[in-house]
Copies of this chain bind each other. A is one copy, B any other.
Amino acid sequence: MKIGIVGLGLIGGSLAIDLRSQGHKIYGVSRQLKTCQIALEKGIADYASPEFKILAETEIVFICTPIATIASTIKQLIPYINPKTIITDVGSVKQPIVAECSQLWSNFIGGHPMAGTTQSGIDAAVANLFTGAAYVFTPTDQSKPENIAKLTAIASELSAIPYVCDAQIHDRAVSWISHLPVMVSASLIKACLTEEPDTFKLAQILASSGFRDTSRVGGGNAELGVMIAKYNQQELLRSLLQYRQNLDEIIALIQQEDWQSLEQTLQITSAARPKFLN
């Protein structure tokens, strides 16, 4: 199959590597000429150019740009491609993207491969990045079943596990397990910074694995954190407000010295956590 990939960073580049190794012809597009050269030199893509016209004969195009530029990229791409071409994206939020891009292109289906590393750019692209990872697709009622089938087949070729669901369910689910934890964790670090110097210094010295783990995602990339909040605002606020209510309940149990109910709560969380770990 002729497959186009727009945006040759970590995700786009890694998709290109695995799909090319499956025998597909890869047409890569990057604004940066240097990135195109690297893609060709490293054998990541068969063809690479800053020009959308090289995508004219592709059957599927993956838009692997940052969330903020997905729709504008599709607008630029449209004049060059066949009306039957499937366009999909790899953004970590789906509702706003699907709403906008489905209007632009009837064969658009949103996608989210749940894989990544802390690196970025084409030099971070690796083989087998998606092995065992969930790959969610969020079609609408208007999406053609054969398009969905083509995309889930591609996910399976990547050794990823395809899931098909509504964009809102995706955004709610990722808010709970990915976006809410960022804000919960960032609030923890921020709260510690209010402590007076002597105690703060000791806290830094004594911090070990518990703090390291709980603070990890709150100490990550700030720009990405803002993207999450901006594009998944409603679902994130919904989960944040629910979280605050559960936090308030725990605070109340400690204030009331209701140790029995606190123990029950912690037994529930202790029993529930393994169900999230595959």
Q: Which residue numbers of A lie inside 8 Å of B, CB to CB?
A: 114, 133-134, 136, 163, 165, 169-170, 172-174, 176-178, 180-195, 198-200, 202-208, 210-223, 225-226, 229-230, 233, 236-237, 239-251, 253-255, 257, 259, 262-263, 265-270, 272-278
Q: Which 10 A-B pairs have the closest CB atoms?
A: A219-B273, A222-B266, A181-B214, A189-B269, A207-B276, A173-B202, A177-B207, A173-B203, A191-B243, A213-B213
**Are B205 and A163 in contact, CB atoms less than 8 angstroms apart?**
yes
Which one of A169, A183, A276, A277 has the greatest number of beta carbons of chain B within 10 Å?
Answer: A276
- List of B residues within 8 angstroms of A176 by Cβ: 191-192, 195, 199-200, 203, 211
Q: Contact between A269 and B219 (Cβ–Cβ < 8 Å)?
A: yes
**Nearest Cβ on chain B to A221's Cβ, whole angstroms:** 7
Q: Is the interface of A mostly helix, strand, loop or mixed?
A: helix
Other-chain contact of A191, B222, B230, B242, B266 (Cβ < 8 Å): B242
A13: min CB distance to chain B, Å:
21
Q: Are A214 and B211 in contact (CB under 8 A)?
A: no
Query: Which B-chain residue is minimally distant from A233 (CB atoms)?
Result: B254
**A233: chain B residues within 8 A (beta carbon):** 254, 257
Q: How far is the CB of A117 from chain B (nearest CB, A)?
A: 11
Distance in angstroms between the alpha carbons of A172 and B206 in the assembled complex: 11
The answer to whether A211 touches B244, judged by C-beta atoms less than 8 angstroms apart, is no
